[in-house]
Amino acid sequence: MNQKLTTLFVTAALMAIASQAALAAPDWSKVPTKNIPVIHPGVAPLEWVQSRDHSGASALKKGETCAGCHFDGGKLDIDLKRLAGKEMEPKGAPKTMTFPVGVQSAYDANNLYVRLTFKAPAGGFDHSDKDNEVKATVMFPNDKVPLAEQAGCWGACHKDARTMPGADEKKTKYATPGAMDLMQWSSSGKVSDGAVTDKRNMDGGKAGVTAEGGKSGDTYTVTFTRKLAGGVNLVPGKAVPFGVAIHADHAGGRFHHVSFGHTIGLGADGDVKAAKQ
């Protein structure tokens, strides 16, 4: 094969790869945004959510979702003063207890794409993560996680986990029985493809997660890509539960802001409707 013909083949191959990459990248300007609130939860683990101390416990037993109670109609309804008080936050509450995160999603035959946009507030109590001003996390529970469809990633938050009052500092989040896929972008540039089972693993996930992010002005934009067939399989035609967590102002451990449990609809109804590519 002569040099000219070889060059033509190489050029054609590169154009094909570029074309596939272009097709894989959603046009986010055409994908609707759902603004969902994230809140600082204090020391309100799953056990508290199910206890008599939580007025919504009886509704949960009847099948109500956390979002259905606290975010019905798109308006946040929750006692933030109680969450910021010493009973629910003995260490110290952040100055900003809640803020919105814009969530967009798209999917194709192989991948799910999730894009988050938010303004990360300062004024947090904990600044233990010196390497990262911000971390953005999305988690997908399977149907064996307690309250997976009602509470999302809250099913991994337990009273005996690290940074909870009196808990073992070596014990991380866990979701047994069940599992959650975890994908995280850190402002230092680190990307985690992990899972939460009997403990939190920040790597070793099966979803092939990639992510990119950055800050423009005061707004962060983080875009995740993951395979549909990951540890938790995401199936077109169904709605999948998910949750979002944002660590702002160098926060570590439980000093994050988290969403309630929501759903992404892949060709189905959901709180966030994924656009088909």
Q: What is the mean pLDDT of the chain?
A: 92
Q: How confident is the model at residue 268 (pLDDT cuts 50, 70, 90)?
A: very high
Mean of pLDDT values over 45-70: 95
User: Which backbone phi and psi does 3 adopt, to 5 degrees?
Assistant: -65, -40
How far apart CA 227 and CA 210 sit, in angstroms, is 10
Mean of pLDDT values over 177-187: 97
**For position 6, what pLDDT does the model report?**
42
33-276: CATH number: 2.60.40
**For position 20, what pLDDT does the model report?**
44
Assigned token pair, 224:
């995740």
Q: For residue 43, what are the CA distances in angstroms to 157, 172, 267?
A: 9, 15, 36
**For position 165, what pLDDT does the model report?**
94
- Please report the beta strands in the chain, taking only residues with DSSP state E, as ranges in sequence order: 34-39, 98-107, 111-118, 135-141, 180-186, 191-196, 200-201, 210-216, 219-227, 239-247, 257-258, 262-266, 272-276
Supply the pTM of this predicted model: 0.91
Q: How confident is the model at residue 22 (pLDDT cuts 50, 70, 90)?
A: very low
**For position 14, what pLDDT does the model report?**
42
pLDDT tens-digit series, residues 91-136: 999 999 999 999 999 999 999 999 999 999 999 999 999 999 999 9
